[in-house]
Structure 1
Amino acid sequence: MKATMLFGLMLALSFGGKAIAADDDVLHELAPTGTLRVGVAYAPAPTPLFVVKDAAGEAHGVARDLGAAVGKALDVPVAFFVVATTGEVTNALASGAIDIGVMPADEDRRKRVDFAPPYFVIECTYLVTDNPEIKAIADVDRGGMTVVGIAGSATERAAARSLKVAKIVEAKTVDEAMTMMKAGTAQAFALTHDALPLLQPQVPGSRILDGAFQSFGVGIAVQKDHPAALAYIKAFTERAKADGTIRRAFGDAGLNRLQIAP
């Protein structure tokens, strides 16, 4: 996309809260069906990345609110693709089944989709069962330890790269991983600092380890080779940081304690 077009998008996006005029290239790349299809992943508790589902199956949370805000800016309807893992969101976006998705930006994903600047930075750590010998992240990598991670997630891939001795297994959902932790078939759960505090009480005696074995930015992704879409979402993200859209989404999800990425 030409610099003048990007400047025009930035200028239009500065008028927050209302529909933002989008040229034909943007609409063709971001909403080719006439509806913005947004991919989000759910978990038992809200985080800056994961939404929660109500009894009717409707999504609520930061990622959902940002997807809705993009649709409002484009002045198009929004349809949500709500799945159990960010890996499923990545696959759907890469295949063209959805138009944007919210996910961590690790190197594996960057080969398949393109990212706007992050609105949050996640730090990966472990929830560990009651074991006095496990005091730090490095202590997890030992014989006899089974680490569970969410299939297709950036955190699971990072844990797999860092672990040389401990066994790592995949769970399809957070609930499945927590079932393994409660049963003792896994002794560590690789997830993020922001997600684990609400899960920890489910495993008596468990601890969240200090530090991080990997960090990733979380952002809105678009399909590869869609320059107009990428420029629009980049500009949208910067505006959403500046005008309070992201801060309000964090607050509505009960996440005021967390910092937005600069």
Structure 2
Amino acid sequence: MEHTVTVYRRSVLAAGALMLGGCAAIGSSIGPSANARAARTELSPTGRLRAAINFGNPILATRGSGGEPQGVSVDLAREAARRLDLPVELVQFNSAGSVVEAVKAGRVDMAFVAIDPVRGADMDYTAPYVIIEGAYLVRNASPLRRNEEVDRTGTRVVVGRGSAYDLFLTRELKAATLVRASTSPAVTDMFLAQDLDVAAGVRQQLEADARRVGGVRLLPGRFMVIEQAMGVPKGRTAAQVWLSAYIEEMKRSGFVAEALRRHAIEGAAVAPPRTS
């Protein structure tokens, strides 16, 4: 009798465990799918996912030989649309400032931008997926040798209007004067044409410019670290939550690292996993 009771108790416990496990599995499947449905609605008010692609940052996107967008941000946008079963529209821009204005105006549903507190007033971010460096470019004959020497009275620093570097240097420079080019790719040419003292921007862009124009050099190190994230218009909470989980999976799975490798991007690192 005692043996029978013991067997019965074990059977009940096992059945209970299976039932709880089944409930947990059902709960986990309902949660993500429900959240994905809500995110899908918030990310496609026009019936398609309008993703802002910024050619002002060559780390994120460039134009292929036929003019088509390519790069890590393009790959991430297309994969997100595929997972949400949405058609994707790649809305193209030449500067970060234009992207931010489009987000604020509701002309795009998702953007790839540098995290900045000023932009945070109109946009909600994921954690970063890529980290890149901001650098200074000077003429070979310039007396400037270190990043710390740039912020001096009389030094004129040119930067792309509305870029992460513009926002950062607007807060940080106390003595130097900022001069703004229309886009980040136009910075070096303006630096030379107007005989300015320093050009500021993405290290990779400035390195390419240095090879193109000659007679210039980058200051050692970096003046800032730029965290590139995905952003959505303020208040689209379900979209921000879904994209946050999505970007963590893309980092963890190697998708971001493989995209950087495939597009031959050097000097950019995959951001570490989110810790909270």
TM-score by length of 2: 0.81
- Kept after mapping to 1: 8 A contact 2:163/2:184: no
Number of aligned residue pairs: 247
Counting only pairs closer than 5 Å after superposition, residues 26-41 of structure 1 correspond to structure 2 as 26-41=39-54
What does the per-residue CA deviation read over 1:92-138, in whole Å, with 9 as the maximum and x for residues that have no partner? 11221110000000111111100011011223221112234100012
- Check whether the contact 1:9–1:232 (CA below 8 A) recurs between aligned residues: no
* Long gaps (5+) in structure 1: 13-19
Alignment correspondent of 1:65: 75
Partner of 1:116: 126
Deviation at 1:9, TM superposition (A): 8.0
Closer/same/farther in 2, CA of residues 8 and 123 from structure 1, 3 Å limit: farther
Structure 2 gaps, min length 5: 1-23
> Deviation digits for residues 54-93 of structure 1, max 9, x if unmatched?
3543211111111111111111111011111111111111
For the residue of structure 2 that corresponds to 1:37, the secondary structure is strand
Q: TM-score, normalised by structure 1?
A: 0.85
Alignment of 1:39-188 (within 5 A): 39-43=52-56, 46-47=58-59, 49=60, 51-54=61-64, 56-188=66-198
Q: Counterparts of 1:153 and 1:256 in 2: how far apart (Å)? A: 20
Match for residue 232 of structure 1 among 221, 242, 246: 242
- Whole-Å separation in 1 of the counterparts to 2:220 and 2:227: 19
Bigger CA drift: 178-187 or 85-94?
178-187
Match of 1:249 in 2: 259
Q: Distance in 2 between matches of 1:23 and 1:133?
A: 55
Mapped contact 1:10–1:235 kept (Cα < 8 A): no
CA distance in 1 between partners of 2:238 and 2:216 (Å) = 47
| Helix, strand or coil at the partner of 1:219 | strand
Residues in 2 aligned to 1:251 and 1:22: alpha-carbon distance in whole angstroms: 32
Q: What is the letter of the counterpart of residue 37 of structure 2? A: D
Whole-angstrom CA distance in 2 between matches of 1:10 and 1:212: 46
CA contact (8 A) 2:109 2:232 kept: yes
Match of 1:24 in 2: 37
Deviating 4+ runs (over 4 angstroms): 7-12, 20-23
| Alignment CA distance shift 1:179-1:258 (3 Å) | closer
Structure showing greater Rg: 2
Shift of the alpha carbon at 1:229? 0.4
C-alpha distance in 2 between matches for 1:76 and 1:208: 43
Deviations 1:176-198 (A, max 9, x none): 21212333522211113343222
Aligned counterparts of 1:10 and 1:123: Cα–Cα separation in 2 = 41
**Residue 16 (structure 1) aligns with:** none
Identity %: 29
1:129–1:203 CA contact under 8 A, matched in 2 = no
Question: Retained in 2: the 8 A contact 1:141–1:164?
Answer: yes
Computed over aligned residues only, the root mean square deviation of the Cα atoms, in angstroms, reads 2.4
Letter of the aligned partner of 1:99 in structure 2? Answer: D
Q: Does the CA contact (< 8 Å) of 2:191 and 2:198 recur in 1?
A: yes
Larger relative helix fraction: 2
**3-state SS of 1:196 partner:** helix
Q: Tell me, yes or no, if the aligned pair for 2:187 and 2:200 is still in contact at 8 Å.
A: no
Residue 3 of structure 2 is matched in structure 1 by: none
State the partner residue of 2:16.
none
**What is the CA distance between 1:210 and its match in structure 2?**
2.2
Cα 1:196–1:9, aligned 2, differ >3 Å: closer, same or farther? farther
